[in-house]
Each structure stands twice: as structure tokens, then as C-alpha cells.
Structure 1
């Protein structure tokens, strides 16, 4: 069998493994998010083409990075189930398996980039953009997204192989995306793999602080920027190829050396907390809010000509990315982790023989609520320490701050209920997390339209005060919407468990 036939077979295997995981639906969702960000409510001007291709790398530093992380997690997660990795390596060469996974990601990435460029061209013609279609810019952006997307995909495959529990790989991916997005604003140098896309952007921006005007121009990509991207691409590929082919599964799993039995029968911890006892889920709940706070504090100190040196403006900067993009997916990671054990082997059959559906749903929900509520306290502590100790802001903390924290806790409880239900329904670890990102983008759009009460993700942005901590809060509507989603999701989860055939989960 020749090399092309082997790769064709392995790609077919990867696509068969991804059946019913809705990978191409994720691409469609990413394209819809691109459409709303690039075209919805943005009237064209004389630099419309430049505005579009300047904004594309910006939004796709978030969307494309998350899409590649989810696809990599789906592709590698299967090998962590049972003895799949050991079995596959007896049937095919491990290097071929690894290359098959990369081609699987490359096909999805190519489809996304191609459809995105077609969408941009058609929308530019429909909206009547001035000037000819900039095919050179389109080609540069297409190649930049292919290279940066494959860098992130390869890295996420490597992380997903390292960590049997995908929460660690996805948490690192989310933290890296947030850090890369921030560093790209500070410098065009690709300091992290997640900031390569913006460094390869063919459109540059010049901002004049005195007149507050923005000018877009063609950016000549330097040789050093190209070499940096290629260095990331090749080095991560070689590292991944070496680890995939030279390391045994038991040697690679970070948790493999920790086989000490748990005293679960005699432990005073609740059952769901026992399951999390050796999973460092607290790490992303500590680091991602901290990264967001560092980014917000830096923006706050660097933009004092626009912002005021007040507690209110500090909060909007620290909570902006967290409330809009990352807090809900963080809860999604926790919920997927809590339901992961039930989705493995025949655990559904076992657990439902000893625990009624109502108790199972309740225990997982309460466990997730405890973690999310603790994260709110951590976010508040970071905010207070930054304002009082580091920046020494004048005046007192706004009186509405603690009310906002209580509102955020209620909204997170509603998001937790929805994400717990999604994680119970979908066997894939990553799909509910991707849906949390989609919900966050939809929540931002609904909040801007004034329909903050429509979904829990928009309620979080509204209740947390990410846009304005001093604004009025419609308490009855907020509480009614939270209660509706909490009770509705819990009831739907219980009914689903009672009426669905557990054999479909095996």
C-alpha cells in the first residue's frame, strides 16, 4: 500500500471516529460568528475592505484558536478511552496515525478558511465596497490563517495527548488564547503560538492619540515574522511527531504514576468531589481570571487618556474579556469534566442502578455551582487587591460592586445548569464547551440589542456589569430569567435521564 493510500485510510478513520460529533457544524457556527462580527451593523466606508481584513485576524485569534482546540480534543480524546491507543498502534504505525490527525485538522481548517474568504468576497460585493476586490490581501490572510491554525491545532493535539482529561488541554488553550490576544495588542511580534495570526496580518493600523483617528494601511510582512511562524509550525510538528511515536501511553499520562487508591467509601467528601479529588480543576479557575485581570489592568494603565482613574473603569477593563468570552466556557469545562466519567464504558448502566436521576443531576449541579461561586469570590479579591494595593485608586469601592457579584453568581448558576445539561447529553468533552463560547458571543449580541434576559450568557454580561458597573439592574427580570433556566435545565436533565435508553450512551 502506497503512502497516499495509507493517509487516505487514516483520514477516513478519523472522520469515522468523529461521526455524530458535529465537527462541520462547529465550522458553520464559527462562520456565523465571523459574519456577525464583520458585517452585521457595520456600514461600509472608503476603507471597508481594509477594515474587514484588519478585523478578521482579530476575531479569529479567538474563534479560530478555540475551533482548533475543540477539533484537536475530539480527535485525540478517543485514544484515551480504554486501551484504544495501544490497540491502534498494533494496527498502524504511530507516525501515520499522528499525520492522519493533522490532515484531519487541516481539512477542517481549509474548509473554514475557504468558506470564510468566499463569504467576505460575496458580502463585499453585496454591500458595495469601494475599489476592486483585494485578492492579494485575501491570499495573504488565507495563508496566515492556515499557518496559524495548524500551529494551534498541532499544539492542542500535543496537549490533548499529554492530559487524558481534556479539561487541562482546553484550559491551557483558553488561557493561551487570552494571553496571545492580549500580547498581540502590545506588540506585533508573535510571542506565543496563539498570537501568530495577528503578526501575519496584511493590514496594519496607525492610531493617533492626539486626534483619536485610525488609519489602516497595507502591512509588509517581514522575513522575521514569517520565520517565527515557520519555526512554531515546524518545531511543534517535530515535537509532536517524536512524542506520538517514541513514548508509551503509560509513560506519557501525567496521572499514570498516581495510582494510589482513593478512600472513597470512607471519605467525608461528597461523591462528585471525590471524583475531582485528583483533577486540578482549580488551576484554570485561578489562572484564567488572573490573566484577564492582568490584561485589564494593563489596558487601564495604558489608556488613562480615555479612561478615568476610578474603580468603575478598572472593573470594566478587568471583567470585559472574562465576562464576555471566558467565564462561561470555564464553567463548561467543569461540567464536561463532571459528566465525563458517566460517558465512559458502561458507567451509565452502573451509576443509574445505584443513584436515581434526580440525585445524580442535583449532585453534579451543586458541585459545579460551588466552584463557580468560589471563582466569583476570587475575581472580587483580585479586583480589590489591584485597586487598593497595586494602583491605590482614590475613593471607595462602588456600592453596587458586591450586588454585581451576587448577580454574577446567580447568572453563573443559570449557566451551570444549562452547561450541565449539555454535558450530560453530548458525549464529546469539547462540544458543550464550544457551545458555551457560541453562547457567549450570542450573549454579547443580545446584550447590545437590549435582550439581556434572553439567555444566561447575556445575563452574565449584564449582571456582572462588564460594560458598566454603576448601571441600573432590573432585579425581577434577572431573577426570573435565572430561575427559569435553572429549573428548566434541571427538570429537562432529569426527564432525559429517566426516559432515554442508557444503552445509547455506551
Structure 2
């Protein structure tokens, strides 16, 4: 009874801690994104209900995984500040703290699933879907999302415990999400924790290559699929419980050990690069582009009956999801990391005693531009190496590819300016990253509608040419739009810095 009382009290505390972190707004945004993917512009047919419940695991392997990663980061990050990991056990048991965090995530997950299924029932009835409401599919999908969502949430809590810098935990989470999404086009087996939702899908798909037709059918979950999901769920839970209850602050934290001191404080490096010197920031910028390249190349070689053996189709396979969904959040992670030190203690006011708002904003933006440009160069090198050395594709690389790469670098400069501004305004590490993810999905919709210039995220999708490297590219409009967003974001950032101190925006 005492444990239940302690857990309920800790759940209330978790919600109080998240009052200004917009967690409920994130749930609403996730449901809205589900609506646009499942229903907006989709005409109903005979298999309308099957189409919806086949699409839900696909879209939520992306959306739900990111949502759980952001919620876990917000929940655990506060305990890394000060001596909270050692202070809390003097008030409640470590097991209670851990269970309180899990129930906090579980409540958010249940709310999301209820809102989502309510929307599915409402829209299916309103659009006149053929047949009765499939409550069995609703129940199966609801349960699958609860199980897979908690697997990802527990895993992200564990990563956030091990890595005091949420940059590392979120980077791993995004890399895992990207892997799970790509594996959906190769296999429905739960090869990773992020693939569990797809493995529990109640609807299967039969694709006939000869006729290029797709048929959806009701499938029964196998005992192995259910067992694999339960092993992930309880295995990660027990591992997390052990580490949360047995770990003193800093005992297991990765990257917090003793480091060799720099030879001189007055380094020749710019200040923002010095602050990143001990951060393994190169890891996500190296691995996240590499993951879709490897899986995309495999998919390219295995689907030569559908794809052509050309440079254009290889680029589509390697860069589609990377350019549309993950490059902008990756820059968002970097910008949140760059502003993290200013949001701690009284550093916000202290830093302005030794520099000007203009220089601070400019340095952070230029650092983000430098690293994002290196990332674009890395993406290009992977593409060229794969095509020329591994696959030995015929012909030459499309001439427009080089313009696309320059355009992508310019667009990332605009994204960096906007994300730097958001990371400065929001003290939460994870909120600006989730906004970058939402912006990427909105950008995809705007690009499809032809309004690629509307937001920086849509300009990146258009400029990078992830869906078609040889498609239309209006360079003057792209450059003008990027310049506008860079100047607007930097100007707003400088004005905000001049008018705001740490006390007025807590």
C-alpha cells in the first residue's frame, strides 16, 4: 500500500514537472499527423478499414517512437541536474521513482491511443466506410500500440539515464526509429524494439510483382511474434528497474568520466566548437545518414523488378526518409545541444556579460551550419561510394546532383537558424526537436501541394530532391526563401536575447 501511495504521488510530481513542457500538446499534434496520413485526401474503397489499420503501424513506427523518445527525455532529464539522482532516494525509493516515470509515460500513451482510435471510429463512420466498425481490429491495434509504445518509452528512459546529455539518447532513438521504419519495407519481424509495432499489425499485405497489385488481408499473430514483444517489454523493464535502483549518480553515466584537460583555455577553436569538444556529436551525424544508406542499398538491390538500375533510383532509396523526416530533427538535436549550457543555472545572464547577443546568435548558427554542411558532404560521399564502388552503376552521376547538394546545404542553413531560435526560446531540450519533426511532416505536405517555399523544412525536402533527384529545381526562389528565413530567424533571436533574461522566461 505504501508503494502504491508513493507511486501515485510521484506520478503527480511528474505531471507537475511537465506543466510547461507541452506534453499534452505533443499528443494532440501526433493525433493530427495521424489524421492527415490516414484520412486527408484518401478516398474510401472496399478495403477502407483494412487500409487504415494497415497504415497505422507504418506511420506510428515513426510518430509514436519519436513521441515516446521526447516524453522519456523530458521525464528523465531533470534528474540529471544538480544532485537529484541522490536527493530523490532520500524521499522515496528508487523503484518508486522509476515506476512513477513509467506510469507517467503509460498515461500519455493511453491518452494518445484513445484519441487516435476515437478519431478512427469518427472518421470511418463519417466517410461511410463499408461494413461495421471493426472493434476487433481496434482492440488488437490499441494493444499493439500500448506494448510497442511502452517498449520504446522504457528503452528511451534507460538511454536517458545512461547518457546525461539528452543529445545522445535522442540521437540513438532517432537512429532506431529510422532503422525500424526502413526495416518495414524489408521484413515485418521485430528485429529491433522500434520494429515491434509492425510485427504486431493485424493486417497483412500481399504484393504481386507481375501485376503490381496490392491486396490486404486479416492475419493472425503468431506465438513467436507475441513472445518477442513480451520479451522486449519485460526484458527492458527489468533491466531499467535494476539500473535505476542500483545506480548512484554518475556511476553508469556514459561520457561523464574524467577527461584530459585542454592545454589552454584560449584555444584557437571558436567558442561553440570548444563547448562541443568533449561531446560525441559526430556519432549521430555519421550513423544516422549511414543507416538509410545501408538499408536503402539493400532494398535497391532486392527490388530490381520494380526499380531501375540507375543513379536516380539509388538516390531515392538512400535519401527518401532521411531528407523528409530525419535531417531537420538531427539539426534540431544539435541546436538544442548548443543552447543547453545557456539554459542551465544562471548561464543565460552570465554569458551576456562577456559577449553580445549578435555574436552569440551568430556563433551558434555558424557552428550548426558548419556541422550540417559536413553531414551533407558525408551523405554525398556515401552515395557516390555506393554507386561507383559497390554497385558499379552504369552512366555518370546526374549533373543536377551537385546542385542538389549545394541546395540542401543552403536549406539546412535556414533550418539551423530556425531551430537555433526555437532552442533558445524553449528551455526543454526535446521540445524544439519534436517541433522539427512536426515541421518535417508539415513540410512534406506543403511540398506535395507545391508550396515548398512556405517553411524551411519543405525547402529542404524540395532542394534535396529525395523523391526525384532530376525533378524541377527553382534555384532563385530557393535561395531567396532561405535568405529570408535565415535573416528573419537571426533577427528574432537577437531581439529576444536583448529583451529577455533568465528570470522572465522561467
Q: Say yes or no: TM over 0.5.
A: yes
Matches within 5 A, 1:82-231: 82-231=82-231
Partner deviation per Cα, 1:49-89 (whole Å, 9 max, x = no partner)? 00000000000000000000000000000001111221112
State the alpha-carbon separation in 2 of the partners of residues 392 and 212 from structure 1: 28
| Partner deviation per Cα, 1:226-278 (whole Å, 9 max, x = no partner) | 11100000010000000000011121112232244334522111110010000
Q: Distance in 1 between matches of 2:203 and 2:438?
A: 27
Give the structure 2 partner of residue 237 of structure 1. Answer: 237
Aligned to 1:484: 484
The answer to whether structure 1 residue 459 and structure 2 residue 432 are counterparts is: no
Distance 2:90 2:156 in 1: 24
Q: Secondary structure at the match of 1:250?
A: coil
Aligned to 2:53: 53
Q: Which consecutive aligned stretches of 4+ in structure 1 deviate over 3 angstroms post-superposition?
A: 259-264
Q: Distance in 1 between matches of 2:152 and 2:114?
A: 18
Aligned residue number for residue 471 of structure 2: 471
2:341 aligned counterpart, secondary structure: helix
Whole-Å Cα distance in 1 between the matches of residues 342 and 323 of structure 2?
30
C-alpha distance after superposition, 1:16-59 (max 9, x if no partner): 11110000000011001000000001000000000000000000
**2:497 aligns to what?**
497
Deviates more, 1:456-465 or 1:306-315: 306-315
1:208 deviates by 0.8
- Contact 2:83/2:249 (<8 A) preserved: no
Report 1:19-418 matches (<5 A): 19-263=19-263, 265-418=265-418
Gaps of 5+ in 1: none
| Contact kept in structure 2, 1:264 and 1:274, CA below 8 Å | no
Distance (Å, rounded) in 2 between the aligned partners of 1:214 and 1:396? 34
Asked whether the 8 Å contact 2:349–2:501 carries over to 1, the reply is no
Separation in 2 of the partners of 1:117 and 1:472?
39
Q: Please give the secondary structure, in 2, of the residue aligned with 1:220.
A: coil
SS at match of 2:207: strand
TM-score by length of 2: 0.99
Distance in 2 of aligned mates of 1:337 and 1:296: 29
User: Secondary structure at the residue paired with 1:205?
Assistant: strand
Structure 1 range deviating more: 417-426 or 291-300: 291-300
Q: Provide the C-alpha distance between the structure 2 equivalents of 1:44 and 1:340, rounded to a whole number of angstroms.
A: 47
Call closer, same or farther: CA 1:285–1:406 in 2, change over 3 Å.
same
Partners of 1:154 and 1:237 within 8 A in 2: yes
Query: Matches of 1:367 and 1:308 in 2, distance apart?
Result: 39
Residues 1:13 and 2:4 aligned together: no
Cα separation, 1, equivalents of 2:264 and 2:331 = 25
* Counterpart-to-counterpart distance in 2, 1:144 and 1:401: 41
Shift of 1:472: 2.4
Which stretches in structure 2 are left out of the alignment for 5+ residues?
none
SS for the counterpart of 2:504 is helix
Aligned mates of 1:181, 1:396 — CA distance in 2: 30
Contact 2:328 2:412 in 1 (8 A): yes
Q: Report if aligned partners of 2:14, 2:101 keep a CA contact under 8 Å in 1.
A: yes
Task: String of CA shifts for 1:319-362, please: whole Å, max 9, x gaps.
Answer: 10110011000000000000000011111121111111111000
CA distance in 1, matches of 2:261, 2:241: 34
CA distance in 1, matches of 2:330, 2:47: 37
Q: Which segment is superposed worse, 204-213 or 295-304?
A: 295-304
| C-alpha RMSD over aligned residues | 1.0
| Contact map agreement 1:297 1:318 (CA 8 A) in 2 | yes
| Counterpart secondary structure, 2:217 | strand
Q: Which moved more, 1:193-202 or 1:85-94?
A: 85-94
* 8 Å CA contact 2:58, 2:184 repeated in 1: no
With normalisation by structure 1, the TM-score equals: 0.99
Residue deviations 1:405-452, cap 9 Å, x none?
Answer: 000000000000000000000000000000010000001000000100
Which SS does the other structure have where 1:69 is aligned? helix
CA distance in 2, matches of 1:80, 1:368: 25
Which segment drifts farther, 345-354 or 419-428? Answer: 345-354
User: Does the CA-based 8 Å contact 1:422-1:432 persist in structure 2?
Assistant: yes
1:286 is displaced (CA, Å) by 0.5
Query: Equivalents in 2 of 1:117, 1:262: separation in Å?
Result: 55
SS in 2 for 1:186: coil
Question: Which whole-Å CA distance do the structure 1 matches of 2:156 and 2:324 have between them?
Answer: 23
Are 1:48 and 1:129, in contact at CA under 8 Å, matched by a contact in 2? Answer: yes
